[in-house]
Structure 1
């Protein structure tokens, strides 16, 4: 016959629940701060910077994320989910060219202020990036079939041209969203009919 399991006194149980709630709040503060710090500084950001921004100690960050790489992966995951959601919205639009135009502008604007997308996401989650590229390809194909893009345009054209101006603007440390949108518009004009 098994022994009955002891139960914690209510005060200890409440204290444990409060600590778990506190840990959850700290985790959320860390993620929010990491998104901000990595957006501003890219891979040069440090765990102590994230901890300071979150108002917690480095040890608290390391309890949630054992390494800086784990923290970067969490930030990249958040960005990928944003991209997946944004691309799904574009695919649901009836006018593929207008959806592509809006999507490219939104991506450009996000990249202008977010070094995570520019530095981390392209190098991470290779299989998911291929899926995102396949979805963008469907949008490019639909825009081409509706006659809005030149017949020879492919998703690789977008990938190379968008990637090229993005890397150059990052290297030049240009963060003005209007500049990024301008290059997105120029890219679309160059590929449109």
Structure 2
């Protein structure tokens, strides 16, 4: 589970994130069973980002009574409500976070619009403005950089379909986010 801060739309320096209850959650393709793991000790990566795990003794049945945050968010149809079981944290900050998902793909969360320079095959530089939260994919033989980070594709691994599940919950639109906007007051000093 990736716990990356999500920016609020009305205030670029106000962020929220949901802390995962465990580092790994395995969920069946039909979304009927799940299992939580603390590590991948008994698992084998047979393709990049695809794991096969042994010794899972008991899979838990997913039903409407499940109270675990991750299971509710990955299986419920109503993504506009953050389950009460979720560990939601809110904070004010200015930062630039990049988390590598795989060889040439990064998930980022950025406080303010940031220039991303992209150079492919040592030719002209293309400038993109990146902001908020998104996934960035860098093509082979390209490099990219911001004022704080440098990104480079290490090698082309072939291609396969990878399903990254990012629930489309708008974390700052739930009741907690609305209350937070009313109680947080930023003081700017000259």
Same fold (TM > 0.5): no
Measured against the shorter chain, the TM-score band is under 0.3
Write 1 or 2 for the structure with the bigger share of helix. Answer: 1
What is the TM-score when the length of structure 2 is the normalising length?
A: 0.26
Higher strand share: 2
TM-score of the pair, normalised by structure 1: 0.26
